[in-house]
Structure 1
């Protein structure tokens, strides 16, 4: 999946979202003293911001990806409801809100100091859906359904979804042959019967099935139980740091997550839901769908507060993958970012003139020791000094491009010196790997890497595989 293809898929997606919208308020401030009135900190407010939460965050994520999205929801007749309308009008005109007289707008206010949340205050009133609100949602849904190719029910258990309305929405979607995805918060999954896909998290899946859901096997049992009991075609269980688990009648996929630095998990499920809706409406393979959803979730939890991601962010890593060859300046910035995220950075070097099985194995074993592997290759001029005037066979640009095609290689850098010591001292990798019969203390960079508590690993070559041997056969 590349940027251009997914961008087209997003443009082709017309998503209809029905769900509990809320206002997420963030108050940023400082605490530097204890109150004389009681043993509690005094919070000095410095700034604040309002963003859409709940179904509004799903809508936001879809808009951010370039999807044509329509939102149907309920707000209260209050100032917070007006604030939601104001935010929505800046993004799109495709939203329909019913103003419920006796139900205030749901608001979550978070107070934070230096990125650390101190307290969250919720203002909400869970009331049964009024007949007027029910009629409004159903009538608007019937008018909009055929204009869309995927339906999302974003249930935050704030009052919109009762048994009757939910089943009416599901039946209409199925009748129109439009996939309907449910993000559930209700403890009774009977209201979601016959949905196309349901996306509970690990805890929700465990509670609704009364079964453990801690590993792949237990997750599969939970998913099958949900499918069978509630006649739901597909189940996706979000498992936090363990990634995503997907099950349908003929396929089960467990998609592990990548190592990420988590700042805030607020709304990560909404981001997954938005990406999945694009994938399902365009019939993208489940493997690619889960990969994209996982990537999106990893990006959004790296941000503070309820956030969205853009197409450029989603495919930034892919662009790095395609353009793996870097200058030292570029690579220093990339490595600094990796270290901030606590990735283990590996480093190896060589001529890699005629790539063979031994090289492939060596690089694969090197990658197993780290999260990101940098491969430094000798320039053409330095290869000649080391190997002789008839080498290299492949020039430095060709060698860099060939290495870039390997999944084990994350970045390639070309150096002119006879040894990579300058690169090692500049980049400060966590691990240096070297192949062959070297002793660790003889590896270039051994003394230097010890200064920042790094390690050197020796990887055995596969016997009978060498560039020299290949050249001798050709002569």
Structure 2
């Protein structure tokens, strides 16, 4: 059994077919205007390159632990060489393009895009599909087509191979107005709202309905689903989620979580990858779309393509690495960041009251959350009861919580260095005692404060009561040594 089949249930790798691009972000700080024109001057420039298009889809999948084969066109030029290096963890089956590698450069100031510069010229087509490319398509456990209209999908022999396997494996097609039609029988096609409008016109379909209403979206999706002979079409709607139709009947709306949007570039690739993997594992279309929407929201909330720079690949939405307003103690004009920490396994009234009290001390509240592995080391193999992703989402649903940052260590020292809060809150039993994190707080003049417990509330006591081991004792009865390790109360 392969690594992929153990993790996803697929009987073969995820094969991504499509056009790979080189995406380059030039990031800088804009602190002044140019003297000869009203444009910002960028200092402290940092260049970050990553795969784009089908390359981004493959990179996202391999960071999910999925076995991936990418069939794409790669030129023998500087852009192509950079793409090869960036795609090193992915098995790449390269076809011969008839043009240069497309490169898209975004110039960004403090996270805001200013201009995009595209090079590489118009697509020149792609040479014939190699036998290795055809074998990869026929041996796929699931297939994702990322068609940006640069010729890979239409390489002689390749489209026919994709159409051949569509009757026996899930094929997810991520379309582009410059690309071709999906093959008949595709399991799922995932245009965004603007693409759906253009594609309806390209197909010559007569569809009525307000442009941005769900009625209009549903009618366009149904028309495309029938025209393409697809099993389902999910039109992505940004913060509203995605609307799935099977060509008739009541559509399914997969709502998106309410997350901050830092950079939505690549969100469609994230959704398509997640849906393809889920379908390859035997998940029904509606559930695969819902999974894609959830993963796409996590990706956007984590900074979009910037999260590819994280140490271990993609960072979940609740593991924010950049906290606006950090180090508020040193600048009176900067929002004051308050931080607290703990396991927060089985959220209870005591947690809520202390979180609200902590939030009232500043402008933003960051919760430093023990990972599942950290909780197990601290509390034993039976904990946590609630996994880290669910604990984080419950915390983020609270109005008083602005960010959640996951940490794997036994203490929050390193995560505090990243967040750099002006105020760090501790549980009531530290009143008058030295706070273990005091030394690291002094690195940026941060202040530790103690918040009183809500008497008679603790997760440990809730677990004991649920197991029939007696009534819930006072929260303050949790061992001080344990609270020192977790960085907060007996959460």
Alignment partner of 2:233 out of 229, 232, 235 = 235
The offset of 1:327, in angstroms, is: 6.9
Match of residue 107 from structure 2? 111
Preserved contact between residue 202 and residue 213 of structure 1 (Cα < 8 Å): no
In the alignment, the residues of structure 1 paired with residue 31 and residue 399 of structure 2 have an alpha-carbon distance, to the nearest angstrom, of 44
In the alignment, the residues of structure 2 paired with residue 67 and residue 82 of structure 1 have an alpha-carbon distance, to the nearest angstrom, of 24
SS at match of 1:135: coil
Q: Is 2:98 the partner of 1:97? A: no
Match of residue 220 from structure 1? 218
In the alignment, the residues of structure 2 paired with residue 119 and residue 151 of structure 1 have an alpha-carbon distance, to the nearest angstrom, of 34
Match of residue 410 from structure 1? none
Structure 1 range deviating more: 71-80 or 263-272: 71-80
Q: Describe the superposition over 1:429-448 as per-residue Cα deviations: whole angstroms up to 9, x where unpaired.
A: xxxxxxxxxxxxxxxxxxxx
The offset of 1:203, in angstroms, is: 1.2
Preserved contact between residue 18 and residue 152 of structure 2 (Cα < 8 Å): yes
Match of residue 188 from structure 2? 197
Preserved contact between residue 295 and residue 314 of structure 1 (Cα < 8 Å): no
Match of residue 64 from structure 1? 63
SS at match of 1:105: coil
In the alignment, the residues of structure 1 paired with residue 108 and residue 179 of structure 2 have an alpha-carbon distance, to the nearest angstrom, of 34
Preserved contact between residue 7 and residue 66 of structure 2 (Cα < 8 Å): no
Preserved contact between residue 10 and residue 65 of structure 1 (Cα < 8 Å): no
Q: Is 2:316 the partner of 1:313? A: yes
Match of residue 45 from structure 2? 46
The offset of 1:85, in angstroms, is: 0.9
Aligned residue runs from structure 1 range 123-202, under 5 A: 123-130=119-126, 133-136=127-130, 139-162=131-154, 167-174=159-166, 177-186=168-177, 190=181, 192-202=183-193
Q: Describe the superposition over 1:284-306 as per-residue Cα deviations: whole angstroms up to 9, x where unpaired.
A: 13454233222211111123352
- Across the aligned residues of Structure 1 and Structure 2, the Cα RMSD in angstroms comes to 4.4
The offset of 1:244, in angstroms, is: 1.1
In the alignment, the residues of structure 2 paired with residue 258 and residue 334 of structure 1 have an alpha-carbon distance, to the nearest angstrom, of 26
SS at match of 2:283: coil
SS at match of 2:85: helix
Distance 1:128 1:165, change over 3 A: farther
Match of residue 252 from structure 1? 251
Match of residue 372 from structure 1? 398
Structure 1 range deviating more: 245-254 or 47-56: 245-254
Q: Describe the superposition over 1:400-429 as per-residue Cα deviations: whole angstroms up to 9, x where unpaired.
A: 869xxxxxxxxxx98679xxxxxxxxxxxx
Q: Describe the superposition over 1:112-158 as per-residue Cα deviations: whole angstroms up to 9, x where unpaired.
A: 2211222111112223414xx2333xx33321134321111101223
Match of residue 299 from structure 2? 300
SS at match of 2:95: strand
The offset of 1:8, in angstroms, is: 2.5
Aligned residue runs from structure 1 range 11-26, under 5 A: 14-26=13-25
Q: Describe the superposition over 1:255-295 as per-residue Cα deviations: whole angstroms up to 9, x where unpaired.
A: 11121100000101111111101110112134542332222
SS at match of 2:227: helix
SS at match of 2:261: coil
Q: Which runs of 5+ in 1 are unaligned?
A: 343-369, 383-394, 403-412, 418-475
Preserved contact between residue 163 and residue 191 of structure 1 (Cα < 8 Å): no
The offset of 1:34, in angstroms, is: 3.9
The offset of 1:398, in angstroms, is: 5.4
Distance 1:231 1:291, change over 3 A: closer
Match of residue 278 from structure 2? 279
Q: Describe the superposition over 1:330-368 as per-residue Cα deviations: whole angstroms up to 9, x where unpaired.
A: 9649986x98599xxxxxxxxxxxxxxxxxxxxxxxxxx
In the alignment, the residues of structure 2 paired with residue 311 and residue 12 of structure 1 have an alpha-carbon distance, to the nearest angstrom, of 25
The offset of 1:232, in angstroms, is: 1.3
Distance 1:20 1:189, change over 3 A: closer
Distance 1:61 1:188, change over 3 A: closer
Question: Of the two, which has the highest radius of gyration?
Answer: 1
Distance 1:48 1:163, change over 3 A: closer
Structure 1 range deviating more: 251-260 or 225-234: 251-260
| TM-score, with length taken from structure 1 | 0.63
In the alignment, the residues of structure 1 paired with residue 246 and residue 465 of structure 2 have an alpha-carbon distance, to the nearest angstrom, of 42
Q: How many residue pairs end up in the alignment?
A: 356
In the alignment, the residues of structure 2 paired with residue 322 and residue 221 of structure 1 have an alpha-carbon distance, to the nearest angstrom, of 44
